[in-house]
Structure 1
Amino acid sequence: MRLTLLATCLLLAGFAHAQDAATRLADDAVIVDTHIDAPTELLDHWADLGGEVKGREFDYVKARRGGLDVAFMSIYTSPEQDAAGTAWQTANAMIDAVEALAQRHPGKFALLTSPRDVDRLRQGGRVLLPLGMENGAPLGDDLANVQFFFDRGVRYITLAHSAPNRIADSSYSPAKTWNGLSPFGRQVVAEMNRVGIMVDVSHLGDASALEAIRISKVPVIASHSAFRHFTPGFERNISDAIAKAVAASGGVVQVPFGTMFISPESAADGQAYYAARQAFDRRNAELLAQGQPVLDQAAFQRDWAPKHPPRGSTLAQVLDEIDYGVKLIGIDHVGIGSDFDGVGGELAEGLKTVADYPQLVAGLQQRGYREADIRKLLGGNLLRTWRAIEAGAQPAR
């Protein structure tokens, strides 16, 4: 009995020591998360993220607890907003919300527009807020908007989201409009290269992603893409061939924590949902064209949800994604893009908020990663890629 008690005490002491070591490394390393959907949450239901906010996955208190330094704020617009012509307005309102947050709490947050400023601006415990535009819809059909949004602070653009747009095809849509980039999309990529905005191939159909990588003159990123190896047939996740192309460009694949991306069962549910929803929307379009009453969207959701309850995922599955990526494309080309506040709370156990990065660090340590390599995964790789993209930019004409 005494030996059992002693062994238990030693085990707990060892666990506490490991957690302390992970927390120290998380605090000291530069953690860069390339995808946090706090701006969408701010517009849907405002809260002051300078304090701790119940129910939010990102706020200042949680960020400091987790050691987060650089939090890319996702400026997300939907295909519906694109179709309605409101994407430009929504994007600017979101950017205003992030600017207001930094201005209201200058000792806690700072806007970040260049990797050169990370060390200076994070002094004093600030959390830095660069902007990533999820969906190129706000560009409309005006190439000048690339420069406009660069001037507003946007430093990556996910070319498309859950439907084809003027630029590229979406991975979620089985029907491809462009089978690559559109003519305008090729101009957009060139202009992004010129001004210094990272080209993001997450969410893209395979042909669109490959063409964007091929024609970009600087590295490209996948801001939040798990590996398709674990979810066969789920085009939303990055294929081995595309991941290798991203790495060959000098870029980085950022692994998300969302259950739908890392759980094969949840990914299958997601594919089924998008197929059913697209069929539903097509039927409504037919009914509308015939002058008949359309089907009820709320009823569709009510019918779908109980038949497809949320599934779980684990920290181990996130670590498996990282392990696979490192073996496939090398330690210099993998990072993290959580999708916090963007997946309805359906996240891996142990990685529920930005306070939980030390859990990820502890998991990496337990799997034998060296400290220098953990620092690369947490943010060093993304910052190196960003510096290369910035260096490739050209002065304004």
Structure 2
Amino acid sequence: MFTKTLVATLLAATSFHVAAADYNPSEKAKQLAHDALLIDTHIDVPYRLINGWEDVSQATADGDFDYPRAQQGGLNAPFMSIYIPASYEESGGGGELAHRMIDSMEALVGRAPDKFALAYNTDDIYAQQQQGLMSIAMGMENGTPIAGDLANLKLFYDRGIRYITLAHSQSNHIADSSYDIRRQWNGLSDFGKELVVAMNNIGMMVDVSHISDEAFYDAIAVSKAPVIASHSSLRSYTPGFERNMSDDMLKKLAENGGVIQINFGSSFVAQQANRYNDMIKKRVQAVEKQFGKDSAEAKKRIAEINANNPYPYATLEQVLDHIDHVVKTIGIEHVGIGSDYDGVGDSLPVGLKDVSSYPNLVQGLLDRGYHDEQIKMILGGNLMRVWKAVEDYAAAHTNDA
């Protein structure tokens, strides 16, 4: 949401726990999840480790990702998010934070070279799959570290960044954010348009998640290569939530040849969950206004509000509805997975609680009539098509970079 910790904070305040349903994917679903090239384009491990280090090459008590669970789920290639909070646009230091997180991913691979390998291109992904290694690819969430200097684009490309989410929860020097009512650029800034061209030329995927509608349309108009929405879902299921994509945006994405990677977070998937935080906040504010913020009566009533209004988790079936809608609207070539694991706190749907859960998704797709090759497209084939197209465009424009 507005910050990576907002959902977790609000959910923790409710002091309840919902157990996941007992999903039992078939052996076919498990095998397909492991046979397919399974790519998840948005997992927030690097920022999680900045806040509290764990060795995710081993089983961990916390978080949504570690190697044993990812291996159980069939994950081949997580794009680790180099997430830069929006506040760094004003405070500075975003570049240093980005480098620290990239360092942490290099260190992870260095500690467990028998498990992980850094992936810089599509050939690496295929080769490392054959070698039985989990590919660590990286995307930068929020272009703030570019700092208005295209030399930084080359620097981060050389360090392994392969997509940039142009903005995050506030507008920056590149683009307006879907969350920010201030529309200082009414889309992309002039530098943002220049950056998109430069990203095309160097072979960096343009990520349109988080940006405003106007910025999305600008990016589509400027980009000569397919774009991605690395972790977005559909506005048709969450009316008024601009962070998700409208059907018209989906159609423009398809014309561009791009792909939307569906976000699993409940507030992205289900309208009731999307509106939950605002509903609770308004009730709490009303109580605090009536009885005083720190009064015993206010605390009592707020506890009752939380106890009587448990968070309405989305379900696996609702995530599948989003995939179905993309397929029906623009075709199966344009949808994939961008879970936002480790980024949406305890708001993940029942049935998709961590990286071991991908076989549940595969079973759901099988149950809805998707055949094996179609499922492989959704799990990773479509993203690889786009990434290869971006690489090919850059190769043909090496003199422009």
State the TM-score, normalized to the length of structure 2: 0.85
- What CA RMSD, in Å, does the superposition of the two structures yield over aligned residues? 2.3
CA distance in 2, matches of 1:59, 1:324: 31
C-alpha distance 183-365 of structure 1, shift in aligned 2 (>3 A) = same
Contact 1:64 1:125 in 2 (8 A): no
Unaligned residue ranges in structure 2 (runs of 5+): 1-22, 284-292, 295-300
Higher relative contact order (CA 8 A, sep 6+): 2
Unaligned residue ranges in structure 1 (runs of 5+): 1-14, 277-294, 297-302
Matched residues, number? 359
2:27 to 15, 20, 43: 20
CA distance in 2, matches of 1:132, 1:169: 19
Secondary structure in structure 2 of the residue aligned to 1:122:
helix
Structure 2: which amino acid aligns with 1:106? P
CA distance in 2, matches of 1:331, 1:274: 38
C-alpha distance 273-184 of structure 1, shift in aligned 2 (>3 A) = farther
Seq. identity, %: 48
- What residue number does 1:358 align with? 359
State the TM-score, normalized to the length of structure 1: 0.86
1:123 Cα deviation after fit: 3.0
Structure 2: which amino acid aligns with 1:366? D
Q: Is it true that 1:162 corresponds to 2:169 in the alignment?
A: yes
- What residue number does 2:378 align with? 377
- What residue number does 2:189 align with? 182
1:309 Cα deviation after fit: 5.3
2:46 to 14, 22, 39: 39
- What residue number does 2:237 align with? 230
1:395 to 382, 391, 398: 398
1:273 Cα deviation after fit: 9.0
CA distance in 2, matches of 1:250, 1:263: 27
1:244 Cα deviation after fit: 1.2
C-alpha distance 353-312 of structure 1, shift in aligned 2 (>3 A) = same
CA distance in 2, matches of 1:232, 1:316: 19
- What residue number does 1:333 align with? 334
- What residue number does 2:273 align with? 266
Secondary structure in structure 2 of the residue aligned to 1:236:
coil
Contact 1:202 1:225 in 2 (8 A): yes
Contact 1:73 1:132 in 2 (8 A): yes
1:141 Cα deviation after fit: 1.7
- What residue number does 2:325 align with? 324
What are the Cα deviations for residues 37-57 of structure 1, in whole angstroms up to 9, with x where unaligned? 000111110011111111121
- What residue number does 1:310 align with? 311
- What residue number does 1:95 align with? 102
C-alpha distance 387-270 of structure 1, shift in aligned 2 (>3 A) = farther
CA distance in 2, matches of 1:211, 1:107: 43
Secondary structure in structure 2 of the residue aligned to 1:73:
strand
1:155 Cα deviation after fit: 0.3
C-alpha distance 209-174 of structure 1, shift in aligned 2 (>3 A) = same
CA distance in 2, matches of 1:273, 1:187: 42
- What residue number does 2:297 align with? none
- What residue number does 1:344 align with? 345
Contact 1:234 1:268 in 2 (8 A): no
Q: Is it true that 1:66 corresponds to 2:64 in the alignment?
A: no
CA distance in 1, matches of 2:233, 2:141: 16
What are the Cα deviations for residues 56-103 of structure 1, in whole angstroms up to 9, with x where unaligned? 211110111000001000000111122210211111100000010011
CA distance in 2, matches of 1:203, 1:273: 24
What are the Cα deviations for residues 162-181 of structure 1, in whole angstroms up to 9, with x where unaligned? 00000001111123111110
Q: Is it true that 1:52 corresponds to 2:59 in the alignment?
A: yes
